[in-house]
Amino acid sequence: MSKRAVHELLVVFKDDLRQGLTSPLTLFLAVSYLLFSLLITLPYVALSRLLMEKLATEPGGASAAAALQVAGTTMWSQAFTQLTGSPEEGLALASVPLPALYTFFFASFIVPLLAVLLSSDLVADDLRTGHMRYLTLRCGRETLLGGRLLSRCLLLAATTLLGTGISFALFAVRLTDLSPSAYVHFLRYGLFLAGSAVVYAALAALCSTLVRSAFFALVLGIFLLLIFGVVDMASDVLGWATPNAYKLLLFSPNRWPQGLAAYLGFATLYAGAAWLRLRTRDL
Partner 1 sequence: MDAGLVIQTSGLTRRFGSLTAVDRVDYQVPAGSISGLIGPNGAGKTTLISLLAGFLRPSAGTGLLLDRPLGHPEVRGRFAVLPQDATFPPRRRVADLLALYGELAGLSPAEAHAAGLDVLAAVGLQDKARERAGHLSHGMTKRLGLAQAFLGNPDLILLDEPTSGLDPRNAFEIRRLIANLKGRSTVIVSSHNLAELQSLCDHATILSRGKIVVQGPLEEITRADAEIRIGLFGEAPALAPLQSLPGVEQVELVEEGQVLLVRFSSSKTPVELGTATVLRHLLEHGALVTSLNRGRSLEQRFLELT
**Interface with partner 1 includes 282 (CB under 8 A)?**
yes
User: In 3D, which of 136, 131, 140 has the Cα closest to residue 19?
Assistant: 131
Asked if 25 interacts with partner 1 (CB under 8 A), we say: no
Q: Of 1, 4, 51, 88, which lies in the binding site for partner 1, with binding defined by CB under 8 A?
A: 4
**Nearer Cβ to partner 1, position 119 or 252?**
119
> Cα 162 to the chain's mean position, in Å?
12
Q: How far apart are alpha carbons 211 and 127 in whole angstroms? A: 8
Does 257 contact partner 1 by CB under 8 A?
no
Stretch that binds partner 1, among 3-11, 173-181, 188-196, 262-270 (CB under 8 A): 3-11
The distance from CA 198 to its chain's CA centroid, rounded to whole angstroms, is 7
277 binds partner 1 (CB under 8 A): no
Contact between 150 and partner 1 (CB under 8 A)?
no
SS3 label, residue 279: helix
Q: In the bound complex, what is the minimum distance in angstroms from residue 30's beta carbon to partner 1?
A: 18
Contact between 136 and partner 1 per CB under 8 A: yes
Amino acid, single-letter form, for residue 14: K
| Residues in Cβ contact with 228 at an 8 Å cutoff, skipping those fewer than 6 apart | 242, 243, 244
Select the residue interacting with partner 1 from 7, 46, 177, 257 (CB under 8 A). Answer: 7
User: Using an 8 Å Cβ cutoff, are 56 and 46 in contact?
Assistant: no
- 112 or 140: CB nearest partner 1: 140
Candidate segments 7-15, 42-50, 91-99, 154-162, binder of partner 1 by CB under 8 A: 7-15
Nearer to partner 1, 10 or 83 (CB): 10
Residue 84 near residue 246 (C-beta atoms within 8 A): no
13, 20, 150, 234 from 199: Cα distances, Å: 18, 19, 12, 22
Number of residues this chain uses to bind partner 1 (CB under 8 A):
24
Distance CA 13, CA 19 (A): 10
User: Least distance in Å: CB of 85 to partner 1?
Assistant: 50
Instruction: Name the residue nearer to partner 1 (CB basis): 140 or 195.
Output: 140
Answer for which of 54, 133, 177, 181 binds partner 1 (CB under 8 A) is: 133
Q: From CA 84, how far away is CA 71, in angstroms rounded?
A: 20
Check binding of 131 to partner 1 (CB under 8 A): yes
Query: Could you tell me the end-to-end alpha-carbon distance of the chain, in angstroms, rounded to an integer?
Result: 24
Which helix H or strand E contains 227, and what residues bound it? helix 214-234
Site residues for partner 1, 54-113, by CB under 8 A, read none
Determine which residue in the list 60, 70, 138, 180 makes contact with partner 1, applying CB under 8 A.
138
Residues interacting with partner 1, by CB under 8 A?
2, 4-5, 7-8, 11-12, 15, 125-126, 129-131, 133-140, 280, 282-283
